[in-house]
Structure 1
């Protein structure tokens, strides 16, 4: 193909602009052409108003948009996500989430029914833990909905005369704590352990598209204060705190608390990652693979405190500075979410021997010449309170250890 040059370029431009080059013989017939040829050249306005130029511009723009969409097809909002809310769809396509700042609000002006705390259940032990979480939310006066995802074989969601212990607890959550029960099929991976099934069920929070936002908290935890304000954070597909006990060497997200904007787009990405996950990839690995660099970072203080922090000697990672003095009472009073993570101390529903308690409980300190055992008292209180509430809420018969 010959290069577009000389007369070829003139004729090509003329075909695009709607004007053709004037030949020499025609120039001689136009008065004044020797001294003024401006009337032979189309103006910018004439060129831009030409239909052929407009068509060519629109065509190029359409091709550019198509190529851009093709390269980012996995981030485009689906029809379902657009129907469920424009803000959520836009946030899902944008990896640059704004800072985690709670805006000023008045309870009466917030439609709390569009938000929900979610829990997942895979066995009887975690069922009790989840019911305890919802009992706390009810007692604290949380305004958002409460949703429990549980194995469909435990009970029919509309059961009115439960007979099994699991069904009794599910009915209690529904009737006393206003929990919406969502039966789900617990999926299991060939050759995998129960942890994979738990991880899968936990990530179903991304599929609760009847809500604008859901807050999923691990049930091996205690909610100390309501966290309704988190639902009003700026839009972002997912928000989580950092695993502060690994920071700053590893900037890993903690999945113990996840603020999620459910959408078909994000759930599809979650499912794809679950299907291709390695044998040792669970919920925490999956959310980090997808959102490590794009999630909104919630402050771990006060939203993700570990019980093991009260047994530690160095609190700089939690405090965020080496200039602040560790005050266990002040930290407890400001904390809203406490996670039982205390290796080698067992989870709070598993019996702890007296010898282990004596050996692992926090040490008393000497401050201003006086013995301070506040960290020890708080730590023991966490485990005693969990045991007592478990007996009260779930009728668990194990006597609280002092």
Structure 2
């Protein structure tokens, strides 16, 4: 039926205005005994008004218009044709409207930092040392949020006061010197494959730390360059992560090297069910992408996710986000807050690197305006030298670490 616009709408409205209310009480005998057909009509009842075709058309038009506006306003919640064919409508995704990642103005004294925590997961002795190094840095930089370490329950009772093993001594050091809260957990591992990746599911236990309003989980094969407390105050969203900028824009993959999580029983249940059905090549990064690729809040990779391998590259457009900006390694380093060791085929920084590999893989010096610039090379080498020095000091070990 066409809408009642133009003359149709005018005539319908005129017909409604022409009705007057029916009078109650007795009519005079003189006026009720005869009817002048040329000038008088019987006044219709309410039922007759509602049964009028014009009124019904008008009401139908109003109803259709209202349904259209309601559907348009809730378009994103309507079931798709695929879900209708399947007989059930997909649940509404309440995470699809996460606001942009913007840090609001705040004053430290007005924030209850006990509601937030940096989290680390540990699966073996090598990563235990890395984790303690992360917490030592946060302690030294004056981070205000709590620090929580999830570690294999067999390593030590969290209340141990007389640690005997090297692992237990390191856990006690983290607790007593760097204010780390120890949380023993059952390592989430899957048989087969590389043990490091197979045990990386333990990282996702961050979603279960419901004693906090928000946790920031960072990979331990990294260096924190500046505190990142401001991330805890981002707008509400179940999870926030940067994109893997080195794959963007071809692949819009989330990087799980840094995850800002709002722990909840609901999200943890989703995580655990996805792990149970994970494929043979699915690990923590695949899990979070399958669940949150289109719903996560996107954190800027600059300054929150810089790879050491970036300093060895020739094309920096993906990191810079533009082809107009000139690569300035010193400026990039100074603004970065989280530096992740990713330099294949260069080994992780706790694994000895041969001098021949270092010479072969270190960044090349550049010549500009007749002058040689080795800033990228110097910085890159300093990343590995600094890591080795801090590892020796914090973990009190000069032994070769096994991966």
TM-score (norm 2): 0.78
Equivalent residue for 1:38, pick from 21, 42, 45:
45
1:325 alignment partner in structure 2? 326
Query: The residue matched to 2:199 in structure 1 has which SS?
Result: helix
Do the aligned residues in 2 keep the contact of 1:141 with 1:226 (CA within 8 Å)?
yes
In the alignment, the residues of structure 2 paired with residue 357 and residue 341 of structure 1 have an alpha-carbon distance, to the nearest angstrom, of 14
Relative to structure 1, the CA distance from residue 371 to residue 197 in structure 2 (aligned partners, 3 Å threshold; closer, same or farther) is same
The aligned runs of 1:2-401 (5 Å cut-off) are: 35-38=42-45, 71=89, 93-397=94-398
Change (3 A) 1:191 1:370: closer
> What displacement does 1:369 show?
1.5
Secondary structure at the counterpart of residue 246 of structure 2: helix
8 Å contact from structure 1 (residues 217, 256) kept in 2: yes
Aligned-residue offset at 1:71: 4.3
Change (3 A) 1:209 1:40: same
SS of corresponding position for 2:139: helix
Tell me, in whole angstroms, the C-alpha distance in 2 between the residues paired with 1:344 and 1:192: 19
The C-alpha deviation readout for 1:227-278, integer Å capped at 9, x for no partner, is 0000000011111001011111111000000000111111111111100000
In the TM superposition, what is the alpha-carbon distance from 1:282 to its structure 2 partner? Answer: 0.2
Q: Distance in 1 between matches of 2:26 and 2:188?
A: 84
Structure 1, unaligned stretches of length 5 or more? Answer: 1-28, 44-66, 76-92
TM-fit CA distance, 1:191: 3.9
**Distance in 2 of aligned mates of 1:193 and 1:314:** 31
Equivalent residues of 2:212, 2:263 under 8 A apart: yes
Alignment RMSD: 2.2
Q: CA deviation at 1:35?
A: 1.8
Change (3 A) 1:355 1:163: same
Q: Work out whether residues 186 and 197 of structure 1, in 8 Å CA contact, stay in contact via their aligned partners in 2.
A: no
Task: Report the CA distance between 1:200 and its aligned residue.
Answer: 1.7
Aligned residues: 330
Structure 2: distance between partners of 1:297 and 1:370? 39
Are the equivalent residues in 1 in contact too, given 2:303–2:337 (CA < 8 A)?
yes
- In the superposition, relative to structure 1, how do residues 371 and 115 fare at CA in structure 2: closer, same or farther (>3 Å)? same
Structure ID, larger Rg: 2
Contact 2:191 2:198 (8 Å CA) reproduced: no
